[in-house]
Structure 1
Amino acid sequence: MPDLKQSSINIYNWFERRLGLGGPIIEAAEHEVPANTSSWWYVFGSAATVVLVLQVMTGIMLALVYAPTAGHAWSSLQFLDHNVRLGWFLRAMHGWGSDFMIAIVLIHMAQVFLFGAYKFPRELTWIIGVFLLLLTLGMAFTGQVLRFDQDAYWGLGIGASIASRVPFVGGWLVDLMLGGPIIAGPTLSRFFALHVFVIPGILLACVGLHVWMVLRLGINDWPMPGRLVKKSTYEREYHELTEKTGIPFVPDAAWKDAIFAAAIMLSVIACALWFGPFGPTGQPDPTIIETAPKPDFAFLWIYAVLAYLPPSLETPVLFIAPVLGIGAMLLLPLVSGEGEKHWSRRPVAVLMVAVIAVTLGAFTRLGTYTPWSPVMNAWSSLSTPAAYLTHRTPLEREGAVVLQNKQCRNCHSIGGEGGLRGPALDTIASRMTEDQIIRQVLQGDGNMPAYGNALNPSETTALVRFLMTLRDDNVPPAIDASRRLASSGTAHPNSQSTH
């Protein structure tokens, strides 16, 4: 045993002499913190870091088997679930770890906000924390897409249709996200790169910077009523408090972090064993459009909000509210970097956290059973009214059958019957040209996903021919004014030459 101990010491000294990491790590672990920070309220940051390590480790092992191609992604997950020993458990750990990490980061952000830990000198620590929250949500979204099941396929289509509404750059964003106007082979490759390389790289860099700033600036002391934060005196007061009541972080303060992190890990394991992995649901099939895609738990509240919003309010809520919310979080420490930290002296802050928590909880609950389109009165078996089939050619009647079989009337009405989510189709040909209808069907726009992969060319032709018959009596079909102008411009010289 003495020889083994001496050998271990020699190996450690060999590496330490060359790397010099042992001293700084020990110094960081034993740095003194105010005794009042040894609290169960200060354990969420370290727990989030532990879960992040779990996500990295399980993600690496999953990447050894996962095939990031549109043709093999779904089957590789089936192989993991049924042919790899404990493959299903590995997937379950990764999936539940994602949900736990989001929940812990949200609670940590709320605790930091209530404790005033975003105030001087920790403004940048808070700002980096906001980006860590956004990156964590980005990891969850891209991870859901990588399942590439029926929910992920159509959920991604809805996400792309939302991105297309961004002013000026909407089309560019869709091409960047999908690798083209529709979901195809390049789409999964891009999301795999985002989920495995881009977002984790930025996330780990931000975590390292975040931890460094906590070590440099110290852990936020327990807020006391009446103890105001002043830039001129706070750092001196903090150092005096640390000198009087300071305890080494390891082991005096870190044991609570270790216990809580262990409890979280056991909870993740329990959920993985009991509930199993998330998906994959049905194999992605663009010809099956009667699916009701739902996002993962972290995004259910967005799903419910969109389901209840009238279409006219969707774009403002989607693009104005998030920008204002994120902007407010980033500006918070810059406009409120001094003053009272204790929550009892900040009732508005407590009310804000309570309202946000209740709202997120309520909409998440609603999202478990709320459909994407709450006003869907039609059904796939509902036939097209006979008045819309008379005096139609066989090809146009075939288009009516396509309209029925593809469940277009779940969102669109004809003759007052059908869904109200999208515009009525009774006069569509008087509002849109044939080219515009083709583009809308194949590439989508606004709230309508792209159906380019759900229709073959003959079905598209028949559907568009039928839609072009839907206009009021004595109303000509819509025409492209720019083409008419161009046509008249080219004819004008000829008309002059004949006179």
Structure 2
Amino acid sequence: MPWYRRTYDWLERRLQLEGPIKDAVLHPVPKSTASWWYVFGSASAVLLVLQVVTGILLALVYSPSASHAWNILQMLNHQVPLGWFLRAMHGWGSNFMVAIVVIHMAQVFLFGAYKFPRELTWIIGVFLLLLTLGMAFTGQVLRFDQDAYWGLAIGASILGRVPWIGGQLVHLMLGGPIINGATLTRFFALHVFILPGTLLVLTGLHVWMVVKLGINEWPMPGRLVRRETYIQEYNELAHKDGLPFFPGAAWKDAYFAAAILLAVALCAAYFGPYGPTGTPDPTIINTVPKPDPPFLWIYTVLSYLPPEMETPFLLIVPPLAIAVLLGLPFVAGVGEKSWWRRPVAVFSVMFLAVCWASFTHLATYTPWSPKMNAWSGAPIPTAFLERRTPLERQGANVFQEKQCRNCHSIGGSGGLRGPALDDVATRLTEDQLIRQVLLGGGNMPAYGSTLSPPETTALVRFLNTLHPNYQPAASDASRAVAGQGGVPSASTVERGNGQHKTQ
């Protein structure tokens, strides 16, 4: 007996894997499933393997450090042999994986494969889609360039809008109130360990259920799903008009998966890797960051939504869409499978596909919401500098030097990304201004790591003067109460010091 046969027998006696593997590979499936419509699930699994392999190779070089990540990616692009191609394979593999998983979900939906007894298979598939999107987003953050920084800032602002626990979620995601070194470490752990590990476990469970419950048969009009008889009818169909999965149906999966890998390699060789673009710096406002292709559609939607509609949209539409997907097999778990007799299902898929394609196309030239057309070099209007203290004028200099007017306008001049600041002191107290500058919020990034304490103090003092003459600046009522109780407030002390100096 050859040595390799003796080694195989030695392992088989101890592992006993031959039987389960043969059952999985040779299990009978309906002959109608040997179709090109059934190849997307296997292609998704092959792309997952590609992402794992290329991700491991990149992790050997990558350093999740805010001071080194950008330079390491530049080194991979320009100094390491074929480093750019490895990065490109990983980046384009991510885009292809998202696309194939979405197509697979649409095919499963149209074929009614979420119905009894495959409800849990569908639910796991929904979570696999969400994990795939999570992998794509965390991978973009690890580039840690301008696109990644601003995408992360907007992602944090979206998470911060969750009622009651938004602040805690932002702290959990960023490792603190602002984007710092801990942020990249957490996203590295998510992208390399947590999300892939969960994805692999759920993929294994998903494949196991497909093997045990069988591949969904071709949906024939009039062939209804009934809980009482479906399993018996399926088994009879698989044995009477079926064939072994390998090689009867598997060869098309293999050809399609090979074609997808070839397409990924061609895109990687022709288009190259994603980024990194400019170094991450919140003071560089004159930029138009864009997310990776899987998220371009939401970029467009937020660009066209009025500011007051962003929060309701983000808090209602995505959770509602996920709830609909998860609840679908419980609402429509039996009955007709054929898309010929399910016009609502066909229309839903076509409508969503047209909307997604249109929004993604618009994102190629849609400006960041809202439009930015300012130039920070224009001087601050003199009306905002008259009768100001030296500290407040110093704050005006900080406002000018840090290019705040690229996003905000005062006196009708400036950017439109953020709200006008002519009366900001009537909306926010001094403490709230400090928190907004340091920690950010909404679509504004945090500047706590780029402003020194004296600069922050001066800037906030200047902002606190921006209110109409007839309307006083906002104040904290609790401080006034504390001052009446014998504990002087900060503003009371300041006014007292000012009167003393005048006298």
TM-score by length of 1: 0.95
SS at match of 1:382: coil
3-state SS, counterpart of residue 33 of structure 1: strand
Residue pairs, 1:444-455, within 5 angstroms: 444-455=440-451
Unaligned runs of 5+ in 2: 489-503
Larger CA deviation: 203-212 vs 24-33: 24-33
d(CA) in 2 for partners of 1:320, 1:64: 40
- The amino acid of 1:118's aligned partner reads Y
Contact 2:154 2:442 in 1 (8 A): no
1:414 equivalent in structure 2 = 410
Per the alignment, residue 196 of structure 1 pairs with 192
Amino acid at match of 2:178: I
Separation (CA, whole Å) in 2 of partners of 1:268 and 1:491: 68
> Deviations for 1:264-297, whole angstroms, at most 9, x for unmatched residues?
0000110111111111112223432323221111
Structure 1: how far apart are the matches of 2:107 and 2:15?
Answer: 37
Higher mean alpha-carbon deviation, 74-83 vs 273-282, is at: 74-83
- 2:363 corresponds to which letter in structure 1? G
Given residue 111 of structure 2, which amino acid in structure 1 is its aligned partner? F
Q: Is 2:97 aligned against 1:101?
A: yes
Q: Give me the whole-angstrom Cα distance separating, in 2, the residues matched to 1:17 and 1:92.
A: 43
- Verify: 1:187 aligned to 2:183, yes or no: yes
Q: Which residue of 2 aligns with 1:149?
A: 145
- 1-structure distance, mates of 2:487, 2:450: 41
Q: 1:422 to 1:149 in 2, by over 3 A?
A: closer
Aligned to 2:109: 113
Between the aligned partners of 1:289 and 1:458, the Cα distance in structure 2 is: 22
Matched-pair contact (CA < 8 Å) for 1:377–1:417: no
Q: Bigger CA drift: 30-39 or 144-153?
A: 144-153
How far is 1:448 from its partner?
Answer: 2.1
Q: For the Cα contact (< 8 Å) 1:286–1:453, is it kept in 2?
A: no
Say if 1:373 and 1:411, in contact at 8 Å, map to a contact too: no
| 1:338 aligned residue (316, 334, 337) | 334
Distance of 2:182 and 2:221 partners within structure 1 = 56
Identity of aligned residues (%): 69
Q: Tell me if the contact between 2:410 and 2:421 (Cα under 8 Å) persists in the aligned partners.
A: yes
Using the alignment, how far apart are the partners of 1:465 and 1:479 within structure 2? 13
Q: Write the distance in 2 (CA, Å) between the matches of 1:112 and 1:393.
A: 68
Asked whether the equivalents of residues 285 and 406 of structure 2 are also in contact (C-alpha less than 8 Å), the reply is: no
Match of 1:116, as an amino acid?
Answer: G
Distance 1:129 1:367, change over 3 A: same
Q: Which residue of 2 aligns with 1:363?
A: 359
Q: Which one of 322, 327, 338 corresponds to residue 323 of structure 2?
A: 327
2:174 partner amino acid: L
Pairs aligned (count): 488
Relative to structure 2, which stretch is displaced further, 228-237 or 39-48?
228-237
Corresponding letter in the other structure for 1:71 = S
- Render the CA deviation track for 1:313-342: whole Å, top value 9, x for unaligned: 001111110110000000000110001111
Q: 1:175 aligns with which of 171, 176, 188?
A: 171
For 1:70 and 1:199, the matched residues in 2 are separated by: 21
Kindly state the Cα deviation for residue 421 of structure 1 after the two structures are TM-superposed.
Answer: 4.1
For each residue in 1:26-47, what CA deviation from the matched residue of structure 2 results, as whole angstroms up to 9, or x when unmatched? Answer: 2211111000000000000000
Structure 2 distance, partners of 1:423, 1:83, is: 44
Runs of 4+ in 1 over 4 A off after TM superposition: none
Given the alignment of the two structures, is residue 271 of structure 1 paired with residue 267 of structure 2, yes or no? Answer: yes
Question: Residues 377 and 277 of structure 1: is their aligned pair in 2 closer, same or farther, counting only changes over 3 Å?
Answer: closer
Is this contact kept in 1: 2:27–2:245, CA < 8 A? yes
Find the aligned partners of 1:461 and 1:373 in 2 and give their Cα distance: 29
Which of these residues, 2, 21, 27, is aligned with residue 25 of structure 1? 21
Distance, in Å, in 1 between the alignment partners of 2:320 and 2:49 is 32
Between 1:373-382 and 1:152-161, the stretch displaced more is 373-382
Does the CA contact (< 8 Å) of 2:285 and 2:407 recur in 1?
A: no
Asked if residue 66 in structure 1 is aligned to residue 62 in structure 2, the reply is: yes
Pairing 1:436-451 to 2, within 5 Å after superposition: 436-451=432-447
2:252 aligned to which of 233, 251, 256: 256
Maintained 8 Å contact 2:40/2:104: yes
**Distance in 2 (alpha carbons) for counterparts of 1:121 and 1:209:** 15
Amino acid at match of 1:192: F
- The match for 1:123 is 119
Aligned residue type for 2:44: A
Give 1:18's aligned amino acid.
Answer: R
Match of 1:238 in 2: 234
Determine if contact 1:301/1:360 at 8 Å carries over to the other structure: yes
User: Secondary structure, in 3 states, of the residue corresponding to 1:304?
Assistant: helix
How far the C-alpha of 1:457 sits from its partner, in A, is 2.7
Answering whether residue 430 of structure 2 is matched by residue 434 of structure 1, we say yes
Residue from 243, 259, 268 that aligns with 1:247: 243
Provide the rounded CA distance (Å) in 2 between the counterparts of 1:376 and 1:352. Answer: 35
Quick one: which amino acid aligns to residue 179 of structure 2? Answer: I
Residue type of the partner of 2:167? Answer: G
State whether residues 304 and 370 of structure 1, in contact with CA within 8 Å, keep that contact through their aligned partners in structure 2.
yes
Moved more, 394-403 or 10-19: 394-403
1:125 CA drift (Å): 0.4
TM-score (ref. length: structure 2): 0.94
- Equivalent residues of 2:407, 2:418 under 8 A apart: yes
Give the deviation of 1:19 after TM superposition: 0.8
Q: Please report how far the alpha carbon of residue 491 of structure 1 lies from its aligned counterpart in structure 2 after TM superposition.
A: 6.7
Q: Aligned partners of 2:36, 2:84: CA distance in 1, in Å?
A: 33
> CA contact under 8 A between 2:376 and 2:414: conserved in structure 1?
no
What's the counterpart of residue 7 of structure 2?
11
Find the residue that maps to 1:247 and give its secondary structure. Answer: strand
- 1:85 correspondence with 2:86: no
Question: Are the structure 2 counterparts of residues 291 and 414 from structure 1 closer, same or farther at C-alpha, using a change threshold of 3 Å?
Answer: same
Paired with 2:339 and 2:455, the residues of 1 have a C-alpha distance of: 62
Deviation at 1:259, TM superposition (A): 0.4
Q: CA RMSD in A?
A: 1.6
Query: Contact conserved, 1:165 with 1:445, CA < 8 A, in 2?
Result: no
Amino acid at match of 2:192: V
